[in-house]
Structure 1
C-alpha cells in the first residue's frame, strides 16, 4: 500500500493511513478500537452513510459562512476537538500540538482529565480550551481539577456521563495494553493510582487504572455539587436518551453532547446520529446540542446540523493527523474538514449554518423525509 504524504491528503479520513504507517500496532488498536464486537463503532458510520440530504437550489451561495458561537465563543467552524486521553502516545508533542492546531484553525480544543500534558500547558497555547472531567472517587481531587481548569483559563467544563466504568475493549485486553514509556496521566501526579500499572494477560492497564479512579456512583444529585463549585458553562457528554436530555436541560446544562463514546462504551448502543433528532427536540433550544461519534467529513458535519445539532466534536481524525504530522497534521485535518463543509454547504444551497438547519434529510432507500 502506498501511503500518501501529509500534503497529499484530500480528506480528513485519509490521515488514518498515515497514522497506521507510524504508530505501534498496540497504540493504533487503542486509538481505533472500540468495545465488544465493535457493532456501535460500525453503526456510527453506517448511520451517516444511510442519511441523505435534500439540497436546495437557486440560492445565492457566492459567499458561504461557517462560523458559529459555541459556548459563548466564536468558532470558525461548528466544530470542537473532542476530549481524547494520552495524546503523547501517538506523538511526542501530544496535546499542545493538537491545541495549537485548533487555535490556528479557530476552533475549541477539549483537554481531558487523563491528558498526558497539564491543562496549564494546553491553555498556554492560546487555544480556546474546554476541560473534560471524569467523576473521580476522590472528591477532593475532582475539586482540585475544577480549580486548576478555571485558573488556567478554560472556557467550559465537559462532564462525561457515559463512563461509570470503561467498556470492555477486547483488542486492548488481548494485548494487555499499557501506555508507552514516558506517557502518563499527568493530572494525577505522584498519586499511587495515577500511573497505569503493568497489565497482566487479558487486562488493559488503562482500563484497570480507570476503574480505580472513576466513581461509578455519579448521579443527577451530583450536578448540584458540581454547579456550586464552578462558574464555567456545563456540558454533559454522553447523552442518547431524550428523557435524559430533557432532565439535563431542566437542571440547567448549557450544552449536551449526543455521543456513544465513539463506540468505546456500550456495544450495541444507538448510533449517535440516530439519537440526535429526538434529543434536539427534547431540549427545544434550552441548551446547545453537539454531536460526537463517527464524524469523518464536512458532509457529516452538514448532516448533523440538518438533524438539529449546533455543532460536532471531532475525535479520531485529530489523533490520526497528530500521529502523522504533529501540529501540522492536525491543522491539515481541520482545514480539510472546513473546506469540505464549505463546499457541502454551497452544493446544498446553504449560504450559512442557519440554512443548513432547515435542510430536509431522507434516511436510507425509501426512507421517510425528516
Structure 2
C-alpha cells in the first residue's frame, strides 16, 4: 500500500473543501468518546470494559508511552512497501483484525459487516469463535480475501474437531487458538449490569450452526429441566434467545432448543482443563498453520513452538482477563529477546494508532492485531466506519514510515526507538 498515507490525507482534505467532515474521528480519544455515546450500556461495558480495576487495560497504553520514535531525515525514499509475508501468505499490511465476540451488541450482523470491510481494505480478519454470524457466511462475504479462525477449546473434543474442519472448509489461513480464556475473568462493569451476552444467545452463532453442537443441544433439550423462575427479565431473556437462535421466531419460541443451546454453550464452550497435552494434538488434527494467542511468558512462548505452533500472539486479551497483568508490549520485548529473530510473533492488546503499529514492529512484532478501534468505527458508521478506522491506522503507519526514512516493514528496527522496557 505505497502512498496510503498521502492518499488518505488527500481524500479527507478534499472532502473538507466540500464542507464534509469525517464521520469517524481521526484520533482515538474522540473515536472512543463518540462510540460510547452511540452504544448501549451493555454493549459498551462488554466491548470497552476490562478486568478488575482496569489496571491491565491502562498498562497496555502506558507501555507504548514509555517508547519514543526517533525520526531520521533525508532518506530519499519516495515509496514505501507495507506488505509482509505471514504464514505463507502475502499480506498488504502488517495489520489484522482481532477476533471480537458478541459484536451484535454493537450492530446487527456485525461479523458480516466487519468481514466486508476487511475484504474492501485488503485486511485479514480473524473470525471470532464467539461471533454472531456463522463462519461460512462471513467467508462468503469476504470472497477470496484472507481470513483466519479463532478457536476456543471446548470440553467436547468432537466439537473441537468439527470447528476445525469447518475452518478448513472455509479456506481459513490459520487456526488461532485462544489460551487465556479457559474461564471468564472478573469483569466488574459487566457484573454490575448482570450482563453476559451469551446467556441471551448473543455470540454463539458458530455453535448453533455447528452439527456437533446442535446434536449435544438437541439431546439436552429432550431432557427434563428445572422450571425457571418467571420474571420480566427472564421473559426478555427468553425472547432474546429466541431471536438469536437460527430459524423462525415463533417456531423457536415454542421449542426448548434455544434455551438448551445457551445452557449447552455455557457448559462446554471452553475447557478449564486445557493443557499443553491438548495443544500438542493439534498438529495431527489440522493442516492449517497453528497460532497460539494469549502468550505472555517466554517459557510459554518456547513451549508453544515446541508443541507445533507456527506463530504466537502476545496478548493479555485487551486487559479483559487478569487485572494487574503485564502489558502485552512489555511481554513482547521479553519474549522476542528470548526467542531470537526467527519465530513469528504477533502483538495484540493496546494497538490504537499507526504510530503504535510502528512501535510494536520496531520492538519485534511481525504483525499486529487491531481490536476495539474498529468496533468503535462499526458503532459510528457500520461497514464504512470499520473501513475508515482501518484506513486511518494504515495511513498513519505509512506516514510514520515516510517521516522516519523506512521504505519497508523490515526497515522498522529497534534503533528507531528510544525508551526502556518495564
| TM-score normalised by structure 1 residue count | 0.89
CA distance in 2, matches of 1:256, 1:244: 10
Is 2:295–2:314's contact at 8 Å kept on the other side of the alignment?
yes
Residue in structure 2 matched with residue 323 of structure 1 by the alignment: 379
CA distance in 2, matches of 1:290, 1:76: 16
| Residue 10 (structure 1) shift | 1.7
Residue in structure 2 matched with residue 168 of structure 1 by the alignment: 186
SS in 2 for 1:155: coil
CA distance in 2, matches of 1:85, 1:94: 10
CA distance in 2, matches of 1:13, 1:230: 41
Q: 1:92 pairs with 108, 118, 133, which one?
A: 108
Residue in structure 2 matched with residue 254 of structure 1 by the alignment: 310
Q: What pairs with 1:1-370 in structure 2 (closer than 5 Å)?
A: 6-7=22-23, 9-12=25-28, 14-125=30-141, 126=143, 127-179=145-197, 183-189=202-208, 190=214, 192=217, 210=266, 212-363=268-419, 367=420
SS in 2 for 1:147: helix
Is 1:23–1:323's contact at 8 Å kept on the other side of the alignment?
yes
Q: CA RMSD in A?
A: 2.6
CA distance in 2, matches of 1:184, 1:342: 35
Is 1:136–1:142's contact at 8 Å kept on the other side of the alignment?
yes
Is 1:53–1:359's contact at 8 Å kept on the other side of the alignment?
no
> When you count helix as a share of all residues, which structure comes out higher?
2
More displaced 10-residue stretch of structure 1: 16-25 or 309-318: 16-25
More displaced 10-residue stretch of structure 1: 57-66 or 97-106: 57-66
Measured against aligned partners, the alpha-carbon deviations of 1:1-50 in whole angstroms (never above 9, x if no partner) come to xxx96445223554323322221111111110010111000000111112
* 1:207 to 1:300, Cα distance in 2 relative to 1, 3 A: farther
CA distance in 2, matches of 1:242, 1:210: 32
SS in 1 for 2:73: coil
CA distance in 2, matches of 1:208, 1:46: 39
SS in 2 for 1:359: helix
CA distance in 1, matches of 2:265, 2:336: 35
| Residue 227 (structure 1) shift | 1.4
Measured against aligned partners, the alpha-carbon deviations of 1:168-208 in whole angstroms (never above 9, x if no partner) come to 001111100143977341122155499xx989xxxxx9999
More displaced 10-residue stretch of structure 1: 251-260 or 128-137: 251-260
SS in 1 for 2:276: coil
Structure (1 or 2) with the larger CA radius of gyration: 2
More displaced 10-residue stretch of structure 1: 9-18 or 299-308: 9-18
CA distance in 1, matches of 2:286, 2:96: 21
| Residue 220 (structure 1) shift | 1.0
* 1:176 to 1:14, Cα distance in 2 relative to 1, 3 A: same
Q: Which blocks of at least 5 consecutive residues in structure 1 are unaligned?
A: 200-204
| Residue 357 (structure 1) shift | 2.3
